[in-house]
Amino acid sequence: MHNLTIAEIIQGLKNKSFSSVEITQHFLNRIKTLDTEYNSFITLTEEQALAQAAAADARLAAGDAPALCGVPLAHKDIFCTNGVRTSCGSKMLDNFVPPYDATVVTNYNQDGVVILGKTNMDEFAMGSSNETSYYGPVKNPWDTNCVPGGSSGGSAAAVAARLVPGATATDTGGSIRQPAALCGITGIKPTYGRVSRWGMIAFASSLDQAGTMTRTAEDAALMLQSMASYDRKDSTCVDHPIDDYSANLNAPLAGLKIGIPKEYFGKGLNPGTAKAVQAAIKTYEAMGATVQEVSLPHTHLAVPAYYVIAPAECSANLSRFDGVRYGHRCDNPKDLEDLYRRSRGEGFGEEVKRRILVGTYALSAGFYDAYYRKAQQVRRLIKQDFVDVFSQVDVILGPTSPSPAFEFGSKGSDPVAMYLEDIYTIATNLAGLPGMSIPCGQVDGKPVGLQLIGNYFAEAKLLNIAHKFQTETDFHTQAPAAIK
What is the total count of domains within the chain?
A: 1
Domain hosting residue 263, numbered range: 1-484
CATH number at residue 34: 3.90.1300.10
Asked whether the beta carbons of 465 and 452 are under 8 A apart, the reply is: yes
pLDDT of residue 75: 98
* Rounded Cα distance, 470 and 475, in Å: 8
The beta strand positions in 109-148, using DSSP E, are 114-119
Instruction: Please give the positions annotated as active site.
Output: 76, 151, 175
Q: pLDDT, tens digit, for every residue of 63-90?
A: 989 999 999 999 999 999 999 999 999 9
Predicted confidence (pLDDT) per residue in 416-455, tens digit:
778 778 899 999 999 999 999 999 999 999 999 999 999 9
Phi-psi region of 340 (alpha: psi -120 to 50; beta: other; left: phi over 0): alpha
pLDDT tens-digit readout, 175-215: 999 999 999 999 999 999 999 999 999 999 999 999 999 99
- Find all residues with CB under 8 Å of 183, minimum gap 6, and list them: 140, 141, 142, 148, 149, 153, 156, 157, 159, 160, 405, 447
- H or E, element range at 169: strand 166-171
